Amino acid sequence: LGLIDNVAAANNVSHVSFSMAAIMFAIVIASQFAARQDEKEKALALSNERFTLATRGANEGLFDWNLWTGETFFSDRFKKILGARLDNDPAALKQWLRIIVPADRRVARAALRRFRRNGQATTLNLEYRVMGPDHERHWLHSKLVAVRDPLTGRIVRLVGSISDITQRKQSDVALRASEARFRGITEAHPVPVMIVGLASGLVLYASPAAEHLLGVGPNELPNDSFGRFLTDQDAWADIAQTVAAGRDVNLKEVVLRRGNGETLPAALSARRITYQDEGAMAIGLYDLTERKQAEAQIAHQQEALQQSEKMAALGGLLAGVAHELNNPLSVALGQATLLMEGSPEPKVSSRAEKIFKAADRCSRIVKSFLALARRKEPERKPVEINALIQGSLDLLGYQIRTENIEIALALEPHLPVIDGDPDQLTQVITNLILNATQALQGWGGKRRLVVSSWQEDGARAFVSVADSGPGVPPDIRSRIFEPFFTTKGNKGGTGVGLSLCLNIVESHGGRLHAEDTPGGGATFIVELPAAKITAQSRAPASDADAKLPAHLKILLVDDEVEIAQTLADLLEPEGHEVDIAANGAVALDKLHKAAYDVIVSDLRMPVLDGPGLHAALMREMPSYLGKILYVTGDTLSSHVQAFLAAHPVPVIEKPYRLDDVRRAIARLLKESAGERTMGGDSAVPPVLEPALPP
């Protein structure tokens, strides 16, 4: 028993020891838990303090809504932004929604419903307007973050922020209004406008006018490089550097390359601006196509005017030169005629004939040259086309030969007569031959010029000028007759020659066109209608037309004694009495002392010229006005042209042939006799009335 008691006592001590140990362990654990709990509470307090400080210092208002417990939290900043006194309870949420503008409230409620039903969404952004305490509407932005139950997907907690975006919204509205005004102005403005980034060189904005000018579709220009639309990249680099340095570019002329590859001249102005927070340049483009065309046309017109002024000055010079040339040519022709008709020796007659032909050729050249320089109203009369062709070739013969051009003629001998102005038609033929000659200048191939004439059923006459030169390129063939269009560049072309030829031919009822020459070259064909004339007028002049009545008393008035004496030597062997006066004053004195059947007077003379003599006869002896024939080597001077325009008197040009004088005097006497038969002035002094041949 004692042993049992001892064992029991030992066990009790052991149990007590274990109990005491357990109690001590529990005390240690409890003290450690209490210490940790205290640390957690301190950390929580610190966290709450930091959260409170953060909510107070943040620009955005914060809120927290625990849907399980119903607890809510609104920061002071939240309440201040919202402009409402909110309690931390669920009722405050309804108060929050009530101050939202009704139109935006409906949108916000619908968005919240969709957000709650979408089990995956965790973030929602809302913008809405509220009526603030200042009775003005404010724009607010709310960002909501949802904590969802992982099993059901239902929202158990919502946290988020709120911020006042009124100023940003106002800026956006102002920016959109400004953008709308900018686009309205630029899109309505006729000047193409573009905005190009300074650093990138990319197009940031382009007006519809700019898209149209550059030949691209709508909205194709933005983000495209503007430099690729300029043909000169150095010019573009200079423009960019100038604007980047803060200097303006004003109407710099450039060449633009359109979307289809075509180029056009333009002027470019540029200013530095800030666009969408980026350094940029505003560019205005001006299409210079019409201006350049107008400038080119004005330049052509000025050149044509200068040419016209030169021709006018040349005409004045030619008036004197022609007078000086025609007078000795008249003497040469007359003296050659005297030698041919009066010399019994065949050698002398043969030599005289050669002199006559040379002088006659010179006279034709002078007349053709004067026809080109003459400025007068068109005069329609029967014209022999082949004679005009021959005259033009005589005029240009030296130039054709010096260019080593082979010339061939294919003229039909019996062409119908044309009713036209010989001077104008001479201009047409001469211009076509001259153009063909110039086309062959420097030509490496065969140099051949063929001038042809032919007819069709007697109703139309044709003249063809064909060369073997480079021809007319097909792409400009439709433009060669346009005024001021020329392919001669700096070689002296004015672009008026073919246009003038076309106008002359069409005014005669004809047609002028160009074709390719077989084998290479260009062919210009003139088509003219035949004159509607009677058989009598078609018949060539006969010798009877140049036969004068016998024993005429003729007064020759000319300051060139050789001319007058030569004509006297030609007329006196035919039985006529010839008297000579050196000028109009001497002629008047002779007319007062004696009667004459015919007066042959020069127009340009010293002391008293032909117009002065005509005026004196009109005052003192009007019966002689129907018996006076004028000769002149000067039809270009304005004085002579004015006289001939005012008085339709018979005129023959120097140098003349004897047959020309005979025929003109015969016609004059016939018309004078007809006027007396019809009834004339009874106060006419008696003059010798020669009997006309039957």
Q: Per-residue pLDDT averaged across 525-532, rounded?
A: 89
DSSP class of residue 604? Answer: S
Of 231, 278, 282, residue with least CA distance to 254 = 231
Look up residue 692 and give its two tokens.
């006309």
Q: Is the pLDDT of residue 120 over 80?
A: yes
Q: Which residue type sits at 673? A: A
Taken as a whole, the chain contains a residue count of: 694
Q: Do 120 and 109 contact (CB within 8 A), yes or no?
A: no
- Rounded to two decimals, the pTM is 0.44
Pull the structure tokens for residue 465. 């000028």
State how beta strands 628-632 and 651-653 pair. Answer: parallel
Lowest pLDDT segment from 60-64, 165-169, 311-315: 311-315
Q: Is the pLDDT of residue 680 over 50?
A: no
Q: What is the mean pLDDT of the chain?
A: 80
Helix, strand counts (H, E) of the chain: 18, 22
Region 72-85: mean pLDDT is 82
pLDDT at residue number 187: 67
Q: pLDDT class for 692, splitting at 50, 70, 90?
A: very low
**Cβ–Cβ < 8 Å for 319, 636:** yes
Distance between CA atoms of residues 52 and 521, nearest Å: 101
pLDDT digits (tens, 9 = 90+) for 375-386: 555 668 888 999
Residue entry with tokens 């210092």: 57
Q: Which two tokens stand for residue 425?
A: 């038609």
Helical axes 91-98 vs 102-117, angle rounded to 10°: 130
For residues 105 and 128, the answer to whether their CB atoms sit within 8 Å is yes
Report the distance separating Cα 58 and Cα 493, nearest Å: 85
Residues 365, 369, 375, 381, Cα dihedral to 10°: 30
CA 630 to centroid of chain Cα atoms? 51
Cβ atoms 318, 640 nearer than 8 A: no
Strand ranges (E), 457-583: 460-467, 511-516, 522-529, 553-557, 577-581
Are 318 and 369 in contact by the 8 Å Cβ rule? The answer is yes
Q: Which residue has the tokens 């003599």?
A: 613
3-state secondary structure 100-118: ECHHHHHHHHHHHHHHHHC
Spatial CA neighbour of 464 closest among 542, 539, 516: 516
Which of 5-9, 33-37, 259-263, 366-370 is modeled with the greatest confidence? 259-263
Looking only at the bridges linking them, the beta strands covering 381-383 and 577-581 are unpaired
pLDDT for 686 equals 35
Distance CA 404, CA 245 (A): 63
**46-55, 184-193, 504-513: lowest mean pLDDT where?**
46-55
Q: Does residue 539 surpass a pLDDT of 70?
A: no
50-64, 467-481, 587-601, 633-647: which has the highest mean pLDDT? 587-601
Which region among 44-58, 277-291, 303-317, 518-532 has the lowest average model confidence (pLDDT)? Answer: 44-58
Give 521: exposed, middle or buried? Use CB within 10 Å, 0-12, 13-18, 19+: buried
Rounded Cα distance between 552 and 575, Å, is: 8
Question: 């001249």: which residue's tokens?
Answer: 265
Task: Extract the runs of DSSP E, i.e. beta strands, from 359-445.
Answer: 381-383, 406-411, 418-420
DSSP one-letter string for 171-208:
HHHHHHHHHHHHHHHHHHSSS-EEEEETTT-BEEEE-H
| Contact assessment for residue 132 and residue 83, using Cβ atoms and an 8 Å cutoff | yes
What single letter denotes the amino acid at residue 96?
W
CA distance 523 to 103: 85
222-266 pLDDT, tens digit per residue, is 888 998 899 999 889 999 999 999 999 999 999 999 988 899 999
Q: What is the pLDDT of residues 561-590, one digit of tens each?
A: 888 888 888 888 888 999 999 999 999 999
pLDDT of res. 532: 75
Q: Which amino acid is at 503?
A: N
| Contact assessment for residue 186 and residue 207, using Cβ atoms and an 8 Å cutoff | yes
Check: CB of residue 510 under 8 Å from CB of residue 527: yes
Q: Tell me the C-alpha to C-alpha distance, in Å, between residue 377 and each of 218, 424, 532, 591.
A: 58, 10, 22, 34
- Predicted pLDDT of residue 555: 94
State which amino acid sits at residue 260: N
Local confidence band at 537 (pLDDT 50, 70, 90 cut-offs): very low
Secondary structure (DSSP) of 492-513: S--S-HHHHHHHHHHHTT-EEE
Structure tokens at 434: 């001259």
Give the closest residue to 469 by CA, choosing from 513, 437, 439, 514.
439
Characterize the bridge pairing of strands 203-206 and 123-131: unpaired
Alpha carbons 241 and 235: distance in angstroms, whole number: 10
Q: Is the pLDDT of residue 397 over 60?
A: yes
- The β-bridge relationship of strands 61-66 and 155-164 is antiparallel
> What's the CA gap between 453 and 389, in Å, rounded?
9
Cβ proximity of 287 and 251 under 8 Å: no
Is 402 a residue whose pLDDT tops 50? yes
Taking the C-alpha atoms of residue 47 and residue 68, their distance in angstroms, rounded to an integer, is 23
Q: Which residues contact 235 (CB under 8 A, 6 or more apart)?
A: 252, 254
> CA 138, CA 125: separation in Å to the nearest integer?
17
Inter-axis angle of helices 385-402 and 422-440, to 10 degrees?
30
CA–CA gap between residue 31 and residue 268 (Å, rounded): 88
